[in-house]
């Protein structure tokens, strides 16, 4: 569907990625009558809304779905469009039902040490992370039987595990994958987060429907104004609550367009510097495992793991997060002409924790607009001296890890252009108090408003190095509890108020 079919809803969610869909799922499961509208400016790519495009068996159909998610403009990684921001040259977005959850690599590590959010009670966060793992179908052992998996982990463990606590040693990467009846695995897309809510008659999913602004009645979110991108028609939709989950660049843009402009809006932008390196496993290791196929996807879309995906966790003493995977399953492509069987090639990606500053920001214009008429944006971003020092440490660490795993395929490890991680965070960050350093509270409610929530990696306030999706989904689970209380409270207030606005009991 395009424009919403109802004039009002209990909840409108802008953005259908993993976190926006978490709010839909949690509210539908816990509120028996809530009517929910889920908006996305992009098209629906698959029959199951938000399904992972890598699960599409036919390569031509898969490529068409990825192109549809890119929209107009220069393409980035398959399924993404480059924004063309000089300070963050690799910055890219996906515009489709399911958001980046229809394209991601599924890595779901738990944050540790300084990555954790200190003002959220640890027991509450642990419970929310567990719920997030359930929603995403996270499995830490899905690829344990991959031919090279244990060999890779043993080599990494011998290098880095000494002195680490047990829960921060080299391990299989927890992955969002869905087991099929035949025992094979497929990548979890946003469809698994939505679950039954995708087909609930109380939920409307409007694709190719752009939210132009959140309607504010004083300090209270009262609905949204949306445009059908096919017909150009615009309409207003009333709501008792609005969640904006439109990614770390477009969420602050929409708040700005709506006149919601707290001092921290768009600031504290965090893109994790990413260093990559490629090695081939030693010949004797390859010879010992004849199961190499050179494929990572079977003819019916199932994953064919080779070296699996291994994880070198972040610690405060080791302020980067390592993701080690067969390179043909990596978002960084294998160069042609290497003469090496793809299954024997391992890619190492080290993500650094950024030195977060308010000067790294997305700035919005009052005079220039984008193609949709929303405020034009400009990114200000740089690596500080502290960042450059950590990047050099990470280069040495990933070179040592590569040498431990195999034989380097190329020269020194390479720092990818800023924005390559696609892990943008912080632009609507939470804070323990309304002190100007945050946009929302620890339950993702926008400060000094009622009925307005934000969601996504952009609410994470800490300098993380690990993949952020699990954390942002856990924070959405937390926020959904507060939202549920809001819906129940406002419903009770409506039941006990007569049409003149006087309380009846």
- φ, ψ at 216 (rounded to 5°): -105, 125
Neighbours of 21 (CB within 10 A): 34
* Lookup: tokens for 480: 């959904």
Instruction: Give the separation between CA 61 and CA 67, rounded to whole angstroms.
Output: 10
Question: In the β-sheet with 185-187, what is the strand arrangement from edge to edge?
Answer: 138-139, 175-179, 185-187
Tally of CA atoms within 13 A in the half-sphere of 470 that contains its CB? 30
* Lookup: tokens for 14: 């802008």
Q: If you ran DSSP here, which 8-state letter would residue 95 be given?
A: -
* Lookup: tokens for 503: 């309380």
Q: Which residues pair with 175 in a beta bridge?
A: 107, 139
Q: If you ran DSSP here, which 8-state letter would residue 497 be given?
A: B
* Lookup: tokens for 24: 């839909």
Q: If you ran DSSP here, which 8-state letter would residue 161 be given?
A: -
Tell me the three-class secondary structure of 191-253, residue by residue: HHHHHHHHHCCCEEEECCEEEEEEEEECCEEEEEEEEECCCCCEEEEEEEEEEECCCCCHHHH
**From 31, 185, 423, 486, active-site residue:** 423
CB 193 within 8 A of CB 442: no
Instruction: Give the separation between CA 309 and CA 288, rounded to whole angstroms.
Output: 19
103 is catalytic: no
Helix, coil or strand: residue 445? strand
Residues contacting residue 227 through CB under 8 Å, at least 6 positions apart: 209, 210, 212, 233, 234, 372
* Lookup: tokens for 158: 């011998």
Helix, coil or strand: residue 262? coil
CB 427 within 8 A of CB 246: no
Instruction: Give the separation between CA 70 and CA 93, rounded to whole angstroms.
Output: 8
How many residues are recorded in the chain? 505
Which uninterrupted H or E stretch holds 81? strand 81-82
CB 187 within 8 A of CB 303: yes
Q: How far is CA 111 from the centre of its chain?
A: 14
Q: If you ran DSSP here, which 8-state letter would residue 335 be given?
A: P
Report H helices in 258-326. 283-288
- φ, ψ at 344 (rounded to 5°): -95, 0
Cα torsion 278, 284, 286, 289: sign: negative
Q: Looking at the annotation, which residues are catalytic?
A: 423
């Amino acid at each position: 569907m395009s424009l919403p079919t109802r004039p009002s809803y209990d909840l409108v969610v802008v953005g259908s990625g993993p976190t926006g869909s978490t709010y839909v799922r949690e509210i539908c499961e816990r509120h028996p009558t809530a009517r929910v509208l889920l908006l996305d400016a992009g098209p629906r790519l698959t029959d199951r809304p938000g399904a992972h495009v890598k699960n599409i068996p036919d390569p031509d159909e898969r490529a068409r779905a990825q192109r549809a998610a890119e929209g107009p403009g220069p393409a980035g990684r398959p399924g993404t469009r480059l924004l063309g921001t000089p300070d963050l040259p690799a910055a890219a977005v996906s515009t489709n039902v399911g958001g980046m959850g229809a394209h991601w690599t599924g890595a779901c590590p738990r944050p540790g040490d300084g990555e954790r959010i200190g003002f959220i009670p640890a027991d509450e966060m642990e419970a929310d992370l567990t719920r997030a793992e359930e929603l995403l179908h996270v499995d830490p052992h899905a690829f344990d039987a991959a031919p090279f998996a244990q060999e890779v982990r043993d080599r990494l463990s011998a290098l880095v595990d000494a002195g680490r606590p047990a829960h921060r040693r080299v391990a299989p990467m927890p992955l969002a994958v869905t087991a099929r009846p035949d025992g094979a695995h497929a990548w979890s897309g946003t469809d698994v987060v939505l679950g039954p809510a995708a087909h609930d008659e109380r939920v409307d999913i409007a694709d190719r429907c752009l939210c132009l602004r959140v309607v504010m009645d004083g300090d209270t979110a009262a609905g949204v104004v949306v445009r059908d991108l096919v017909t150009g028609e615009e309409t207003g939709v009333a709501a008792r609550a609005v969640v904006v989950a439109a990614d770390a660049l477009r969420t602050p843009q929409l708040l700005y367009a709506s006149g919601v402009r707290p001092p921290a809006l768009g600031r504290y932008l965090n893109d994790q510097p990413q260093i990559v390196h490629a090695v081939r496993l030693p010949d004797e290791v390859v010879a010992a495992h004849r199961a190499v196929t050179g494929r990572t996807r079977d003819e019916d879309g199932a994953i064919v793991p080779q070296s699996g995906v291994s994880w070198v966790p972040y610690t405060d003493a080791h302020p980067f997060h390592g993701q080690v995977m067969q390179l043909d399953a990596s978002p960084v492509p294998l160069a042609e002409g290497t003469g090496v069987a793809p299954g024997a090639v391992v890619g190492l990606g080290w993500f650094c924790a950024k030195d977060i500053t308010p000067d790294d920001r997305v700035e919005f214009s009052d005079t220039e607009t984008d193609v949709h008429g929303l405020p034009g944006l400009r990114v200000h971003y740089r690596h500080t001296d502290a960042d450059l020092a950590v990047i050099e440490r990470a280069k040495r660490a990933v070179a040592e890890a590569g040498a431990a795993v195999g034989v380097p395929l190329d020269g020194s490890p390479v720092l990818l252009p800023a924005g390559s991680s696609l892990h943008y965070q912080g632009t609507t960050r939470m804070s323990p108090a309304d002190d100007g350093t945050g946009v929302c509270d620890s339950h993702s409610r926008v400060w000094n408003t009622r009925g307005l929530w934000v969601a996504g990696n952009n609410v994470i306030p800490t300098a993380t190095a690990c993949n952020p999706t699990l954390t942002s989904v856990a924070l959405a689970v937390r926020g959904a509890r507060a939202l549920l209380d809001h819906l129940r409270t406002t419903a009770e207030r409506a039941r006990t108020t007569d049409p003149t606005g006087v309380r009846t009991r």
